[in-house]
Amino acid sequence: MRRYLLTLIALGVLVPAGVKAQSSVTLAGRVSETVTLSVPPNSINADVISTGNTVRVTLSGNDSPVIRVPLLVRSNSGFKITASFESKTAGLSQLWVDEVRATGRLVSTQSVNSLASIALSEPDTSQPLLVASGPRVSLGGSLDSPNNALEITVLIRLKPESLRESSVHLTFVATPVSLTP
């Protein structure tokens, strides 16, 4: 009987120690860096196609030499936005970021305050143009939450010649910029 009692006491002491040693688990993971780009509905009088990180704007027979494009950026990492300009008859005179604003409380204030944007006059349109870059935008929410996007308004000034007959394609692409080496 004493032997059983000693065995029971030993099990009572050793088993919890063994369980305690095995109950510690360490998980490591990484979230994919994501940047999405879109245009608010009915915000521009043009054909707009948004797919993930790309927005393509097509204007035909435009009478106005200035095009205003509000881009909504959501990201869980740093980002950069480039623009490509295509037209057989119209030329690009200027491209600049006119306004930057948060759409809600889930936007990092750092993204609003430290956005790097450019103003280009007579840019070389043979290659993509850097429009803006910045740190992480979204502090929470999903890829289509209304309060976690940075709205960046880009103004594009076309050369006035041949505006009525022109067809213009603007393609904006957002890509993640890694915050970790």
Residue 12 has pLDDT above 60, yes or no: yes
> Residue 105: its pLDDT value, please?
96
Check if the beta carbon of residue 74 is closer than 8 Å to that of residue 143: yes
Nearest residue to 39 (alpha-carbon basis) of 77, 78, 81, 76: 81
| Number of domains within the chain | 1
CATH number at residue 42: 2.60.120
- Asked if the structure places residue 121 within a domain, the reply is yes
Q: List, in order, residues 6 or more apart from 45 with CB less than 8 Å away.
A: none
Q: Bridge-partner residues for 179, per DSSP?
A: none
Task: Answer whether residue 110 is part of any domain.
Answer: yes
Cα 98 to its chain centre, rounded Å, is: 18
- Identify the pLDDT of residue 133: 95
Give the mean model confidence (pLDDT) for residues 53-80: 90
**In angstroms, how far is CA 46 from the centroid of its own chain?**
22
Residue 41, pLDDT above cutoff 80: yes
- 0.85 exceeded by the pTM? no
Q: Which amino acid is at 13?
A: V
**Residue 8 located in a structural domain:** no
Residue positions counted in the chain: 181
- Region of residue 43 (phi > 0: left; psi between -120 and 50: alpha; otherwise: beta): alpha
pLDDT score, position 63:
65
> Which of 15-24, 44-53, 132-141, 167-176 shows the lowest per-residue confidence on average (mean pLDDT)?
15-24
Say if 127 falls within a structural domain.
yes
Q: How confident is the model at residue 32 (pLDDT cuts 50, 70, 90)?
A: confident
Dist CA 159 CA 161 (whole Å): 6
What is the phi-psi region of residue 159: left when phi exceeds 0, alpha when psi lies from -120 to 50, beta otherwise?
beta
Radius of gyration in angstroms for the set of CA atoms belonging to the chain, rounded to a whole number: 27
pLDDT tens digits along 82-126: 999 998 888 889 999 999 999 999 999 999 988 888 888 889 999
Residue 81 falls inside a structural domain: yes
Is residue 164 in a domain?
Answer: yes
* pLDDT tens for each residue of 118-174: 888 889 999 999 999 999 999 999 888 889 999 999 999 988 765 566 788 999 999
For 142, the domain range is: 35-177
148 within domain boundaries: yes
Q: Is residue 159 part of a domain?
A: yes
Token reading at 14: 């050793």
Instruction: Tell me what the mean pLDDT of segment 32-55 comes to.
Output: 92
